[in-house]
Amino acid sequence: MVRTARASTATGPTLAVVAREAGVSVPTASKVVNGREDVAPETRRRVSEALDRLGYVRRPRFDPTVRAPRMIDLVVRSPADSGSGAVLHGVEEAAYDAGLEVVVSAGLERRRGGTVERGGWLDKLRARGSAGVLFDLAELTGTQYTWLERHRVPFVLIDPVAEPPSGVVSVGAANWQGGVTATEHLLGLGHERIAVIAGERGTAVSGTRVAGYRSALAAAGVRHRAEYVRHAGFDRDAARRRMRELLELPVPPTAVFVCSDAMALGVYEALAERGLRVPDEMSVVGFDDLPEARWATPALTTVRRPLAEMAATALRLLLRMMDGAHLESTRTELSTRLVQRASTAAPGGDVRH
């Protein structure tokens, strides 16, 4: 079940914190809170003492015979973002199977250059008594990591742009392999002058996708051109500008691998401004396989990032953490694959001006 986030008047530690204090699992602590009888007396005593010692506030139950479902939070970049929609779908299905209640909040991610961030949502997590959190944000701030650690809230990151700190659990896509696959597709069509428009310079996601691009070129014996590598910060307008720059080169590319579908739409706009046709005069490959890729004209060939599957995997890992499990691996990667549509073809006319 997914519902819109709203403030709660409850205060105090989460049930997960109480469970750790008492040395039991979250489901066991929940049984005590909800008055279930299938708990050993000694266990009930330890949990009850932890509840009193930590000042846990029991939320009122409308039906004392029904056990309330565990609740987690999902913090997305924006409910209007199509990528967040895929994440919501994956979490909703997995949460239904697990009998969880999910509260969805919008927290604008921090970006280099400055982005307004909605404040207060971390405090609301604690007030609601959420057992854990899934973050579909580009990255968290140091302050946010410190808050989560201090309150001992289990959390998992879904495909963060930046490399998270050591020990932080995350689920992402096989970005390096995706870069290889996109570039190999263009090489297979006969392109050698292949450019790449990446996201933010210096971030893990951009770096690994560009590394895959370079690796594919090297394996094919194609010379890497430094002037063909541009960064647009995952911004559509910036990608349009970077494409204009590529077209102004003495030897412009015949194909471009764009590291997000949103940026690929900006590339389309730059090509249209010059009267260049996709794919006749420029082949374009995106990354993500968002709905926009299918709606574009021509439909965009892209590397599918399995967002719904990543979200469901992240929720299953969070459940294990909520139950006290120690995860041996903190990074899980899901495979990417090429979705071929109409935006790529063999090299056509020369785009030099």
> What pLDDT is stored for residue 154 in this prediction?
93
Cα 172 from Cα 161, distance rounded (Å) = 9
Phi, psi of 338 (to 5 degrees): -80, 135
HSE-CB for 173 with a 13 A CA cutoff: 26
Q: Which residue, among 245, 249, 255, has the nearest Cα to 279 in the 3D structure?
A: 255
Sign of the torsion angle spanned by Cα atoms 181, 209, 94, 78: negative
> What pLDDT is stored for residue 119 in this prediction?
52
DSSP-derived pairing of the beta strands 133-136 and 101-106: unpaired
Cα 288 from Cα 308, distance rounded (Å) = 12
7 class by beta-carbon count within 10 Å (0-12 exposed, 13-18 middle, 19+ buried):
exposed
Q: Which tokens is 91 given? A: 């979490």
Cα 342 from Cα 278, distance rounded (Å) = 8
Q: Which residue, among 213, 212, 178, 171, has the nearest Cα to 321 in the 3D structure?
A: 171
Cα 222 from Cα 77, distance rounded (Å) = 38
N-to-C CA span, the chain: 56
- How open is the CA angle 82-87-89, to the nearest 5 degrees? 95
Q: Is 157 helix (H, G, I), strand (E, B) or coil?
A: strand
> What pLDDT is stored for residue 81 in this prediction?
76
DSSP characters for 160-191?
Answer: -SSPPPTT--EEEE-HHHHHHHHHHHHHHTT-
Sign of the torsion angle spanned by Cα atoms 248, 250, 251, 257: negative
**Ramachandran class of 241: left when φ > 0, alpha when ψ lies in -120 to 50, beta otherwise:** alpha
* Averaged pLDDT in 10-residue chunks for the chain of 353 residues: 35 73 81 72 86 70 49 83 84 87 73 49 74 88 87 92 91 97 98 97 92 98 96 96 98 97 97 97 97 95 96 95 88 96 89 51
Q: Which residue, among 314, 317, 316, has the nearest Cα to 328 in the 3D structure?
A: 317
Cα 38 from Cα 35, distance rounded (Å) = 9
Cα 194 from Cα 246, distance rounded (Å) = 11
Q: Strand locations in the chain, DSSP E?
A: 2-4, 71-76, 101-106, 133-136, 155-158, 170-173, 194-198, 229-231, 255-258, 283-288, 301-304, 331-334, 337-339
Q: Which tokens is 332 given? A: 């899980």
